[in-house]
Amino acid sequence: SSLHDNNDDDDNNNNVISHPKPLSSSQLFNSVSNGSRLRVAYQGVRGAYSEAAAEKAYPNCEAVPCDQFDSAFQVITSTLSLFLTFNFAVEKWLVDRAVLPIENSLGGSIHRNYDLLLRHSLHIVGEVKLAVQHCLLANHGVQLEDLSRVLSHPQALAQCENTLTKIGLSREAVDDTALAAKHVALHKLKDTGAVASSSAAKIYGLNILAQDIQDDCDNVTRFLILAREPIIPGIQNPFKTSIVFSLEEGPGVLFKALAVFALRQINLTKAFIYGFFKSPRKA
């Protein structure tokens, strides 16, 4: 299981000790021991929503872009190029933390990222929620009627489904919203726009044709904060525990598993069945 807590706690909780030794919450949110800024990995290029989430969680951090989520995970654990793969960044000690989008209020769970949590030995030590405000971007001089297609991350395209349908644009998925903006700008495309943030428009010199094009104004993405070591949650503060387990096939096994929490007055904020199609015998 993984514990995550964003509040300060006492360092004297000697009851919870594991390998490696857990960090306290105060240690978690302080700068690294050599006095340099905390390095936080995120997937994407500059202007990505994950970069904004990293800077919201750690305002004075050095946000480190990674090519893929797998790279960013591994850069949390040695000192190579800045543009890495997400898992590599964390596990090879190139960064101190990583932010991972896990759930969106419109698009739901981001299933691929649950895979990463299972495949890599990192701990959830916090979370941050980011209000996502999508913009339709294009090169300067390009009008809305000039566009025939739009590029963005699949989640962003899904979150703007109604708006993009009304405009009549074909969609093309890419790895990252900011990468879509960068591509449109770099190739000076006249018939193609990008769904990305206003900061991406500023970074890549694009024009904002339309703002807040998401289908729901309450569009929020929840990001997990990951670290190599767990933390000790404060006893006096509320905290969350994330658990993954498998069940043998049989009648009522899920009911029996959930009853363990109900009988102890433990509230579940989310129950997620993972891997059903890969292994029908497991829940």
Return the CATH superfamily for domain 135-211.
Periplasmic binding protein-like II (3.40.190.10)
What is the bridge-based pairing of β-strands 192-196 and 135-138?
Answer: antiparallel
Helix (H, G, I), strand (E, B), or coil: what is residue 216?
Answer: coil
Domain with CATH 3.40.190.10 in the chain: 2-132+219-232, 135-211
* Cβ atoms of residues 206 and 182 within 8 Å: no
- Tell me the helices (H) and strands (E) count for the chain, helix number first: 10, 17
Is 69 noted as a catalytic residue in this protein? no
In the predicted model, what is the mean pLDDT of residues 41-51? 91
pLDDT digit string, tens, across residues 144-177 = 999 999 999 998 999 999 999 999 999 999 988 9
CATH class for the region spanning 2-132+219-232: alpha beta
Under the banding of pLDDT at 50, 70 and 90, the label for residue 33 is very low
Measured between alpha carbons, how far is 35 from 159 in angstroms, rounded to an integer?
40
- Between 22 and 117, residue with greater pLDDT: 117
The answer, yes or no, to whether residue 203 has pLDDT greater than 90, is yes
Q: Enter the pTM of the model.
A: 0.73
Answer positive or negative: Cα dihedral of 78, 80, 81, 85.
Answer: negative
Is 223 noted as a catalytic residue in this protein? yes
Amino acid at 109: S
In the predicted model, what is the mean pLDDT of residues 133-150? 97
Q: Which of 148-152, 184-188, 271-275 has the lowest mean pLDDT?
A: 271-275
Catalytic residue among 83, 223, 255, 272: 223
- Between 264 and 235, residue with greater pLDDT: 264
Catalytic residue among 77, 79, 221, 241: 221
Q: What is the pLDDT of residue 238?
A: 73
